[in-house]
A and B are shown apart, each in its own frame.
Chain A
Amino acid sequence: MSTRTLVSPAALARPRGRAVYWTVFTAVVVLFTIAFLFPVYWMATGAMKSPDEVAKTPPTLVPEQWHLSGYGDAWDLMQLPRHLWNTVIQATGAWMFQLVFCTAAAYALSKLKPAFGRVILGGILATLMVPAQALVVPKYLTVADLPLIHTSLLNDPLAIWLPAVANAFNLYLLKRFFDQIPRDVLEAAEIDGAGRLRTLWSIVLPMSRPVLGVVSIFALVAVWQDFLWPLMVFSDTGKQPISVALVQLSQNIQLTVLIAAMVIASIPMVALFLVFQRHIIAGISAGSTKG
């Protein structure tokens, strides 16, 4: 089956070994359930308790009465449809901008041999050394007053979309994947009269589905989870994504309603994870060993 690990199969086959194994196994199941699943359960059911019950000590494990109104109230009172929609627009926009511009740039750097290509690649990789969060203030000032054209992108989804393209990690991931595509494949396409754009579209991209999937998931999750940048950029409440809105509204809203909103805010990413869990987990595991 699998390869030999720390404990030998022989030791596990002995009665004592098996007893220890199943004890450890049960302990880990219990630990994981308490540590990771229970908080999620607590959140999902807390939203369905009455305001009195949620403040009760000792707390009730199962709601005495199941109120679905918490979710409804959150939906209406906290204007969740609007904030969810803002988040969807910001995330999908950032994803598409990244797919178009990062892919094109990675393709150029990998296959089109632009002059100063190595210098540009070096400059892009250097940004990996500069932690993104440490630069939020000058980045904010740039977005507030773009050089040369003196336009402000504040309260505009472009403030999320355009900086998302400057993602050295994803660009490098794409470039390294493109590097592995043999040159003769592309040359064959060119001999058949395909232009560079067509080669990219009908040869390179179809071959790159796995890496495009990884980049897409990274791009979507990053925007959905981000907090500090949208907090700075969207001062207009109506334009705020769900993460910022949750924190801004958390001060003066009933606890059960807030918890319901938290659950709703988590659903899209958790659903995405459950659907693509195999790819996501494989991607993280592979990323570690291949650097």
Chain B
Amino acid sequence: MTKTAARPPAEAIAVHPVQAPPPAGGRGRRRLTDQVRAYGFLLGGLICFALFSWYPAIRAVVIAFQKYTPGSSPEWVGTANFTRVLHDPEFTAAWRNTLTFTLLALLIGFAIPFLLALVLNELRHARAFFRVVVYLPVMIPPVVSALLWKWFYDPGAGLANEALRFAHLPTSNWSNGADTALVSLVIVATWANMGGTVLIYLAALQSIPGELYEAAELDGASLLQRIRHVTIPQTRFVILMLMLLQIIATMQVFTEPFVITGGGPENATVTVLYLIYKYAFLYNDFGGACALSVMLLVLLGAFSALYLRLTRSGEDGS
């Protein structure tokens, strides 16, 4: 920099004509080829997004107002699909089950991983072992977990009742009883998915500065007070985030009810996504399936938007 400043002005003047911008036509062509190249790189991804994300989203809304049978041309039917779906007795059951499932999964699936992470963070031995073991069920294919628990819940030689008998407790119908089926599925989903949650909580707990605990202890805060006034406020953001993610995920539950209960007994475990599947592939009613999809989409979209807003603001804040 200083060198240029020291240069005699004559030289700068001499250089000037060489540095003049190239003719406008050449630059434009250059820009065009740059753009063509850039879009060459983008094209594959762009086509896939257009075909399998954007187009289906628009189509869901369109077909929701059509009578649609593959192969024949669709007919506009106004809101008939929505009214038909709304009057289906399974509709109420599906939404009630899905919301109950989500709520139960939140209660069990939030409290247990958080407590586990809290305890694990205090342990100073075998840390790697705990992390691997808790994450192991996540790597087992969900279909296998579902079949495995279906076998555990078997009224005959199932392990679940065997464990109850061993502890001298009354046996349960588990996934085969109308009032216990949904809870049984929540247990499966929690078992299969909590590894990831525990690991994320652990990482959040490890980022809490130790001085905060020291200061709290000097002020005479007991263990529970330290959890309440240091741990929870410090991890509040992560907790909220995981709760939202979990709501979004559990509201789309399908594999467990499909594999373990088939939606039964007496529709006790039919979920919204399961109902969408049934409308499309059992009743061949794609209009109804899309009407249901749109309803699910609107609700989940709201949660997702909230999640994205929170992550954005969290990023800006930290």
Contacts and interface: CB of A to CB of B under 8 A. Distances in A.
Contact of B143 (A42, A133, A247, A272): A247
Interface of A: prevailing SS: helix
B interface SS class = helix
Q: Considering residues A58, A232, A288, which has the most beta carbons from chain B within 10 angstroms of its beta carbon? A: A288
Contacts of B131: 277, 281
Interface string B223-263: 10011001100000010000000001001101100110000
A165 B276 contact: no
B151 A138 contact: no
A102 B45 contact: yes
Interface residues of A, number: 108
A289 interface: yes
Contacts of B230: 6
Contacts of A212: none
Interface residues on B, range: 35 or more
A100 B44 contact: yes
A157 to B, nearest CB: 15
Interface of A: 1-8, 21, 24-25, 28-29, 32-33, 35-37, 39-40, 42-43, 46, 54-59, 100-102, 104-109, 112-115, 117, 120, 123-125, 127-131, 133-147, 162-163, 165-166, 168, 171, 196, 200, 221, 224-225, 227-228, 232, 242-244, 246-247, 250, 255, 258-259, 262, 265-266, 269-270, 272-274, 277, 280-281, 284-289, 291
Given A114-B42, A228-B258, A266-B144, 15 more contacts: A6-B118, A59-B162, A104-B42, A107-B41, A109-B42, A112-B34, A131-B301, A135-B53, A137-B276, A138-B60, A138-B290, A165-B44, A243-B142, A274-B132, A285-B202
Interface of B: 34-35, 37-39, 41-42, 44-46, 48-49, 51-57, 59-60, 63, 68, 70, 118-126, 130-137, 139-144, 147-148, 151-152, 156-157, 159, 162, 165-166, 191, 196, 199-200, 202-211, 213-214, 217, 223, 226-227, 230-231, 238, 248, 251-252, 254-255, 258-259, 273, 276-277, 279-281, 286, 289-290, 293, 296-297, 300-301, 304-305, 308, 311, 314-315
23 contacts: A3-B209, A6-B118, A8-B217, A25-B123, A42-B159, A58-B165, A59-B157, A104-B41, A108-B39, A134-B252, A136-B273, A138-B60, A163-B52, A165-B52, A225-B142, A232-B281, A244-B143, A247-B258, A262-B144, A266-B144, A285-B200, A288-B200, A291-B311
